[in-house]
């Protein structure tokens, strides 16, 4: 029964416009491309789950009487609290199965689209922000300390992708990096500055620090 429900749900979603759900989850008024890409995998996940459920159903037919006797025995021995606990346990197992299927469907899609080339996968994930990663990687040494100014939530992403480079943010976000006290730059051994335009992560300035003595 569960398998048929998943199958018909997948069929209905396959022809539906999922942009509205992407707008809701993105909370930005417009569909986030990354979120929409993930949402569009839901029909495939449901079909995989339906196939698994139908497969389990077919296998259980070979032992139908034994399964029915077991379920009947369990059903008559459970208390109300145990029935409630069993329901929530079943719901948790279904949720876990859907999450697991979503994970491997997403991974399979990425491998089919981008292969095993990590750089292509990173470029696809970061979008226009990939230009920042590539510029920093090409122009700065691996041990560089870089001051970054932006309102984009990208600092930790850069720390991850460009390690062992270190990124620092000045305490006053309104002050441009050209106005930051030289003492602060020297304290953190900062040799490069990176300014990213708010709302346009593809527009940025990366340059070495010029300290005026």
Strand residues in 56-202 grouped as ranges (E): 145-149, 166-168, 192-196
In tens, the pLDDT along 88-146 reads 887 888 888 888 888 888 888 777 777 666 777 777 777 778 888 899 999 999 999 99
CA angle at 72 for the pair 4 and 54, rounded to the nearest 5°: 20
* Strand pairing class (204-208; 192-196): antiparallel
Q: In 3D, which of 35, 192, 185, 206 has the Cα closest to residue 133? A: 206
Higher pLDDT, 155 or 24: 155
User: What does the angle CA 124 – CA 127 – CA 129 come to, to the nearest 5 degrees?
Assistant: 130
Query: Is there a contact between 186 and 164 (Cβ–Cβ < 8 Å)?
Result: no
pTM of the model: 0.52
| Percent of the chain residues past pLDDT 90, beyond the cut | 6
d(CA 88, CA 174): 50
Model confidence at 55, pLDDT cuts 50, 70, 90, reads: confident
Alpha carbon distances (Å) from 177 to 61, 158, 163, 169, 207:
70, 18, 22, 9, 11
Sign of CA dihedral 109, 113, 118, 120: negative
Mean pLDDT of 3-7: 67
Beta-bridge partner residues of 192: 146, 208
């Amino acid at each position: 029964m569960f398998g048929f429900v998943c199958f018909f749900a997948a069929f209905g979603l396959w022809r539906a416009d999922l942009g509205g759900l992407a707008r809701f989850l993105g909370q930005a008024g417009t569909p986030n491309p990354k979120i929409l890409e993930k949402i569009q995998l839901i029909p495939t996940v449901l079909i995989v789950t339906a196939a698994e459920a139908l497969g389990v159903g077919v296998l259980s037919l070979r032992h139908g009487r034994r399964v029915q006797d077991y379920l009947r025995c369990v059903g008559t021995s459970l208390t109300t609290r145990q029935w409630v606990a069993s329901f929530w346990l079943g719901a948790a197992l279904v949720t876990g199965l859907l999450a697991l299927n979503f994970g491997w469907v997403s991974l399979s899609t990425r491998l089919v689209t981008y292969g095993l080339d990590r750089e292509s996968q990173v470029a696809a994930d970061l979008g226009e922000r990939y230009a920042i990663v590539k510029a920093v990687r090409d122009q700065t040494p691996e041990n560089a300390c870089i001051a970054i100014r932006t309102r984009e939530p990208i600092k930790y992403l850069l720390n991850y992708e460009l390690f062992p480079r270190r990124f620092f943010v000045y305490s006053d976000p309104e002050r441009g990096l050209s106005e930051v006290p030289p003492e602060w730059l020297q304290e953190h051994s900062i040799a490069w500055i990176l300014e990213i335009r708010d709302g346009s992560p593809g527009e940025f300035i990366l340059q070495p620090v010029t300290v005026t003595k």
